[in-house]
Amino acid sequence: MDRISESTACAVSLLERFTNCTARVGVIGLGYVGLPLALRFSEAGFRVIGFDIDESKADAINSGRSYFMHIPDAAVAAARQRRFEATTCVSRAAEADALIICVPTPLTASREPDLSFVVNTLESILPHLRAGQLISLESTTYPGTTEEELRPRIEKRGLKVGEDIFLCFSPEREDPGNPHFTTRNIPKICGGSTPACLEVGMALYGQAVDRVVPVSSTRAAEMTKLLENIHRSVNIGLVNEMKIIADRMDIDILEVIRAAATKPFGFVPYYPGPGLGGHCIPIDPFYLTWKARQYGLHTRFIELAGEINSAMPHWVVGKVIDALNVQLKSVNGSRILVLGIAYKKNVDDMRESPSVELISLLMARGAQVDYADPHVPVFPRMRNYKLDLKSVPVTADSLGRYDLVLLATNHDAFDYELIRKNARLVVDTRGVYRESAPNIIRA
């Protein structure tokens, strides 16, 4: 990339410090995105300050401990040896040459964007910003957020974006629990508010990520992230609808998907489940639908996929009702064990997990519900759910005490043969059991 910003003293200084890794990097929000990112910048040789409002996270990091299953304590301890530290003191933002914002962007109850975490974070650091800093937003959002919400607030403080201070949008790409893709080898998208901003952002991320992909603007970068997740949402919605049709026709949808996947071109396999989970796919499409309405557009395709995916827990509960009815039992009063409450296999991530909705729906119908999840020993505090539950052991004796076992998340830690042999009924939402059995119901 041409060094277009050499006439700007602040840019020259930042480029030099990013290139030789002498800059200090601040990561705001030490969750599933922020903590791996902070650790990666530490590995790359930067001094890193992690910011979080949760004092327990800061204490854990400063003690060399991880609070995520997929990040070992050793990784945090090694970063501490490299002078990685965490704090709740926002005034220390002035010490950082780069401030990377990794905070949640949820939806409101009416499925509209909730930018309160982003805006509040920016407002909290504004008094401590100075010339010669890079601000990068990684939180998924609608096109225009960086220019409409962040840039005016920064420039109102008297700092000229592209000259005194530099502003980028570089969407997070994390897949917790995936051993093949890490922060380092997942290509990074970067868009700048100005060409100088892009140059500075590329210089920073280029030290920590193997490949940084520039785009023409922050809006293009914001839209890129939404397209990635909408692509998944729409295709999962399609295959979930196909599952319902195949079920009515008494066809095994997983057999069909496996057969279709043998086509060497033009087909990408997606797999159905009990609903969408995680921090991206259930939420991000609605950021674009909201923004599109401002342009007089109605995103029918995206919203239809969202409706199908949101309805899947109700369809699964219908399968549970049918399975119990065959045994002359009702949901009301039945004992049900939900296997797996994380949103996907082999992680402890509960965000937007369809398992939680399944538990809530079954309890509302009078079922006595327990759960088993080796990665989530105690049901965590959640905004919309307050359940006083702990994971129960899965043994031959315990399985026999339940009227039905609902396989919601297919962790590798479960003994599926033990479950098949000892459970009275199993409703399988993940396609674990390929062979038919009298006590196995696919959902």
* 251 Cβ contact partners less than 8 Å away, ≥ 6 residues apart: none
CA-CA distance, 57 to 71, in Å (whole number)? 13
Q: Which of 169, 187, 28, 180 is nearest to 99 (CA)?
A: 28
- Whether 280 is catalytic is yes
Task: Count the helices and strands in the chain (H runs, E runs).
Answer: 15, 13
- Point out which residues pair with 167 in neighbouring strands: 135
- Residues in contact with 121: Cβ distance below 8 Å, sequence separation at least 6, in sequence order: 28, 29, 101, 103
Q: Is the separation of the CB atoms in 164 and 5 below 8 Å?
A: no
Order of all β-strands in the sheet with 404-407: 368-372, 335-339, 404-407, 426-428, 440-442
- 405, 423 Cβ separation under 8 angstroms: yes
HSE of 28, CA atoms in CB hemisphere, 13 A: 28
Count Cβ atoms below 10 Å from residue 120 Cβ, excluding itself.
Answer: 12
Q: Give me the residues paired with residue 27 across strands.
A: 50, 100
Q: Which of 102, 168, 190, 280 is catalytic?
A: 280
Residues catalogued as catalytic: 280
